Amino acid sequence: MKRPLEEQWFISDTHFGHGNIIKYSRQEFETLDQMNMTLVNNWNSVVKPNDLVWHLGDFAWTVKAAKEIKPLLNGTIRLVAGNHDDITKLAQTGMFQRIYMWRQFREHGFTATHVPMRQEQIRHGDKNLHGHVHGVLDGLESFHRDVSCESIGHTPINFTEIAKWAVEKSTD
C-alpha cells in the first residue's frame, strides 16, 4: 500500500554528530548537542511515528552518531546515500528501510539525489530534488530544489510541497 503524500517527508544533510558543520554552515548553533537536539525536535514536530522520511544523504558524521540519533527520530527512513554516508556500515545496522544511490519519482516528474544533477542526467521528468549544497544555491538552475537542512529551516519538508514544485512550469 502506498503512503499518502501527507505522510512522507524530505530532508538532507542533517550531519548528526558533525561538530565542524556548525562553523561551516550552522553558526546559529553554539554546540553539537544543541544542533542535534534542535534537528531531532524539529523532525519530530512534523514527522509522525508511522510516516516515511526520504533522507537525501549525509545523515550522520559517523555510524556511531547515526546509531545514537536514529532511535530518537519518528518515522521510517529511506536513505539516498550522500558523500559522507558509509553505505556498507550503515546498511549493516538495519536502521534504514532502504538505501538508494538515487530515487526516481516518475509519477511526480523528479529524481531525488544527494548531489545536484545536470539536466541531461535526469531520465524521468525534468526536475532534481537534492541536498549537498547546504543552502548555497549559486550555480543551481530552476529545475533544482535543495532540501539541505539549511534551506528548509532544519525541518523536514512535506511531499505535498515537493509535488507542487515538481508540477510547476517545466524547464526548457
Q: pTM for this structure?
A: 0.95
Calculate ∠ Cα 74-145-47, nearest 5°. 10
Indicate whether 124 pLDDT > 90. Answer: no
Q: Tell me if residue 58 falls in helix, strand or coil.
A: coil
CA angle 114, 79, 19 (to 5 degrees): 70
Q: Quick check: 63 and 86 in contact, CB under 8 A?
A: yes
pLDDT score at 169: 56
User: What span, in angstroms and rounded, lies between the C-alpha atoms of 26 and 16?
Assistant: 12
pLDDT exceeds cutoff 60 at 70? yes
pLDDT-derived band at 172, boundaries 50, 70, 90 = very low
Q: What residue segments make up the domains of the chain, in order of their start?
A: 5-167
Segment 4-20, tens digit of pLDDT: 999 999 999 999 999 99
Which CATH superfamily hosts domain 5-167?
A: Metallo-dependent phosphatases (3.60.21.10)
What's the mean pLDDT when you consider all of the chain?
95
Distance in angstroms (rounded) separating the CA atoms of residues 51 and 151 = 22
Q: How confident is the model at residue 1 (pLDDT cuts 50, 70, 90)?
A: low
| Nearest CA-CA partner of 15 in 5, 24, 28, 2 | 24
Taking CA atoms, 138 is separated from 4, 57, 133, 134, 144, in Å, by 33, 20, 9, 11, 11
Give me the percent of the chain exceeding a pLDDT of 90: 90
